[in-house]
């Protein structure tokens, strides 16, 4: 266990070096801070444009909170796939990582810790911006701390394991990995109730949405933080049922993702993609 933790710590340190080596610390900090603040203002302006002046209501609060926490999905899931792409195409070191004692899976877990930290900063800044500037408030007396903590843990576990799946998929993709990763992030954004309720989706897409852990995650976050459901599709479910549904879908998605990662990795080794570049 100590050896594994040391390897994970090394991978995390290396991830920080990769993420921040393009700028001095001051410029990097400005970039990390400016991005979520700009996103918060863009969301408020977009919502105000379509809803007139009603940009501070309960609907906007649910919409805003889901967008804030979607930073984990965007940074961790897409970021882990990008880590594979960078190591193979830009640095041409993927084969060395794969054959090192650390192993690719541990390396990706370490890189994901960096993505997690950056996403946490983004979520925190967006929530603070919403509270102090945009009027996104919630009643602290109605917040459910324990269910909220369990919800956060389950949602983060889902992002980690699905990130492994996309990283494995990226092993067998060439340049199309760029489009695929961004497409998956956009698909999660549209299907999981971030920008509008899943009730508005066609019925086949509603079934797909309910099979994704992030649909349940955003619904649980809105319930346990804002004390209100966001979709009529799940309105008749109790809080405990929502939490149980989130746990069940997360466990299923995690097991499927690990199996999928191993399958993609074996296929990538078979077809020689670990050291194959496309001169991108």
On the question of pLDDT at 54 being above 60, the answer is no
Q: What was the pLDDT predicted at 145?
A: 95
On the question of pLDDT at 143 being above 90, the answer is yes
Split at pLDDT 50, 70, 90, the class of 56 is low
Split at pLDDT 50, 70, 90, the class of 51 is low
Helix then strand then coil, in percent of the chain rounded to 5, is 80, 0, 20
Determine the Cα–Cα distance for residues 61 and 134; give it in Å rounded to an integer.
Answer: 10
249-266 mean pLDDT = 96
Q: What was the pLDDT predicted at 211?
A: 95
6-11 mean pLDDT = 90
For 151-186, how does the pLDDT look when each residue is reduced to its tens digit (9 = 90+)? 999 999 999 999 999 999 999 887 777 788 888 888
* Mean pLDDT rounded to a whole number for the chain: 88
Split at pLDDT 50, 70, 90, the class of 280 is low
Percent of the chain's residues with pLDDT above 70: 96
Q: What was the pLDDT predicted at 279?
A: 66
Scored b (16 or more CB within 10 A) or e, 219-244 reads bbbbbbbbeebbbebbeebeeeebbe
Percent of the chain's residues with pLDDT above 90: 43
Determine the Cα–Cα distance for residues 130 and 135; give it in Å rounded to an integer.
Answer: 6
Roughly how many angstroms between the first and final C-alpha of the chain, as a whole number?
A: 38
81-91 mean pLDDT = 86
For 177-235, how does the pLDDT look when each residue is reduced to its tens digit (9 = 90+)? 778 888 888 899 899 989 888 998 999 999 999 999 999 999 999 999 998 887 888 88
CA angle 240, 245, 251 (to 5 degrees): 125
The residue with tokens 């996309």 is 166
Q: What was the pLDDT predicted at 50?
A: 65
| pTM, full prediction | 0.91
Determine the Cα–Cα distance for residues 150 and 247; give it in Å rounded to an integer.
Answer: 9
What are the structural domain ranges in the chain?
Answer: 2-271
Q: What was the pLDDT predicted at 19?
A: 81
Q: Worst-scoring range by mean pLDDT, 31-35, 78-82, 210-214? A: 31-35
Determine the Cα–Cα distance for residues 119 and 78; give it in Å rounded to an integer.
Answer: 12
Q: Say which DSSP state 86 is in.
A: I
């Amino acid at each position: 266990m100590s050896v594994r933790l040391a390897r994970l710590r090394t991978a995390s340190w290396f991830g920080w070096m990769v993420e921040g080596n393009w700028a001095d610390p001051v410029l990097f900090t400005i970039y990390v801070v400016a991005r979520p603040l700009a996103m918060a203002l863009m969301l408020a302006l977009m919502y105000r444009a379509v809803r007139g002046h009603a940009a501070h209501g309960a609907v906007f609060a649910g919409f805003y909170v889901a967008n804030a926490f979607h930073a984990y999905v965007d940074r961790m899931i897409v970021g882990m796939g990008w880590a594979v792409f960078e190591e193979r195409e830009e640095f041409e070191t993927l084969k060395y990582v794969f054959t090192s004692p650390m192993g690719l899976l541990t390396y990706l877990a370490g890189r994901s810790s960096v993505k997690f930290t950056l996403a946490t900063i983004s979520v925190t800044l967006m929530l603070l911006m919403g509270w102090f500037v945009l009027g996104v408030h919630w009643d602290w007396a109605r917040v459910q701390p324990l269910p909220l903590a369990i919800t956060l843990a389950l949602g983060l576990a889902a992002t980690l394991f699905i990130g492994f799946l996309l990283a494995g998929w990226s092993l067998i993709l060439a340049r199309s990995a760029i489009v695929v990763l961004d497409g998956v992030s956009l698909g999660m954004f549209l299907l999981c109730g971030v920008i509008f309720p899943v009730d508005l989706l066609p019925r086949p897409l509603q079934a797909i949405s309910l099979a994704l852990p992030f649909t349940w995650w955003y619904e649980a976050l809105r319930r346990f933080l804002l004390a209100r459901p966001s979709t009529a599709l799940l309105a008749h479910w109790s809080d405990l049922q929502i939490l149980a549904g989130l746990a069940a879908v997360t466990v299923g998605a995690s097991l499927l993702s690990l199996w999928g990662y191993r399958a993609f990795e074996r296929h990538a080794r078979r077809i020689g993609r670990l050291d194959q570049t496309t001169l991108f």
